[in-house]
Structure 1
Amino acid sequence: MTFTTDDVDIIQRDTVFQGFYRLDVLRLRHRLFAGGWGPELRRELFVRHDAVCVLPYDPWEDSLVLLEQMRIGGLDKSNHPWMIELVAGLIDKDEAPEEVAHREADEEAGLQLHRLEPITRYFPSPGGSNEQVHLYLALVDSRGVGGIHGLESEGEDIRVSVWTRTDALAAMEKGRIDNAASIISLQWLALHGERIRADAGPRP
């Protein structure tokens, strides 16, 4: 048996907060695996723009370009709220995910993406948020890349550095890289890295 959105009855939906993000409160019920309908539930939904995350990979050097910046979500539960991450941005305009990838790579790291390869799309926290992440690997030339980047108008202070693939995977295994998009993409690269290198062709 496969359920769809037709098997969810939204009784009421109210927006209780509207800022850059939105919070909705829903009253709903849904069909049960055993048959019939379940009880009425009250759920809060964090409504976010979808996100685009890109792992910049230089197959000719077997190196990665990673970003480091302070993340408020890590303040209460980590001694290292400066997280090591991917290039990332929100789809908050009428843009395709690929357009966001190229724009954010330039703004956050001064990078030109030569080729985008989709890794996956996923919901990072579907129990309470509707955000979906579009995750990519991109081929880049990492030579000379680094420094401090980001838009001053958005309060961004981003340190960009080049890592060997071996060092990045080791940092993930030790828990220094501890955010979902980075972990998923690094594990994907561990499986597909040799194919990516073999198919890369000459350096642009």
Structure 2
Amino acid sequence: MNENSQIMLRYSAGDIELKSKQTVYHGFFKLEQYQVRHRLFNGGMSELVSREIFERGDAVVLMPYDPNTDSIVMIEQFRPGAIRNNDTPWLLEFVAGMFSANESPIDVAIREAKEEANLDLTENDISPIMNYLSSPGGMSEQIHLLIGIVDSKGVGGVYGLAQEHEDILVHVIKREEAMRLLLIGKITNASTIIGLQWLQLNYKNL
């Protein structure tokens, strides 16, 4: 094993050759076909690889947290991608949404908090947690995960935009109860799992 094989993350965008990118389907979401070569760890370049990439745009996920009551505002909604789930396609999640033109992650978080949970937040209430790729083997989506400090008193109800076919039930859940639900497999959405694990490590500092 040579010395260079131990260097982590030594390649960058300059070490790929994107020969072509073609849209093969464009409906509610978009599917593109990439023809790409990339540098190999043992030297040289790979053969030309063809991959279909799901292009749905980036998303913002907001975890509304009330440090005074150690509670989290969570939403419950139907998700067609979870129909194959043997349990239920209704998932417990955080507030989330896609970008509109010229919006920042905080802009999206403020808008979606109001639409999905009737929460009124300002820029000062929101802080970034991390950005991550949700499924980079076949999807380009990047998730912007943020936390919003809220007052959960009186929060609840059914919200969402009718034109987007949203039917969203809002819950206020104690952090310890949310962790119990995570432990027994009742929370299965990736961004919610990541957010809760971050909160469990950091809630004492909020």
RMSD (CA atoms): 1.0
Q: What displacement does 1:113 show?
A: 2.4
Match of 1:140 in 2: 150
Could you list the runs of 4 or more consecutive aligned residues of structure 1 that deviate by over 4 angstroms after TM superposition?
none
Match of 1:75 in 2: 83
Match of 2:4 in 1: none
- Aligned-pair identity in percent equals 45
Which of 7, 19, 27 aligns to 1:11? It is 19
Match of 2:71 in 1: 63
Q: Which stretches in structure 2 are left out of the alignment for 5+ residues?
A: 1-6
Which of 108, 118, 141 aligns to 1:110? It is 118
Which moves more between the two structures, 96-105 or 15-24? 15-24
- In the alignment, is residue 95 of structure 1 matched against residue 103 of structure 2? yes
- In the alignment, is residue 130 of structure 1 matched against residue 125 of structure 2? no
Q: What displacement does 1:21 show?
A: 1.6
Q: What displacement does 1:18 show?
A: 1.3
Q: What displacement does 1:182 show?
A: 0.5
Distance 1:89 1:78 in 2: 26
- In the alignment, is residue 53 of structure 1 matched against residue 39 of structure 2? no
Q: What displacement does 1:136 show?
A: 0.7
Does structure 2 conserve the Cα–Cα contact (< 8 Å) formed by 1:50 and 1:91?
A: yes
Match of 1:165 in 2: 175
Q: Which stretches in structure 1 are left out of the alignment for 5+ residues?
A: 197-204
- In the alignment, is residue 41 of structure 1 matched against residue 49 of structure 2? yes
Between Structure 1 and Structure 2, how many residues are aligned? 196
TM-score by length of structure 2 reads 0.92
TM-score by length of structure 1 reads 0.93
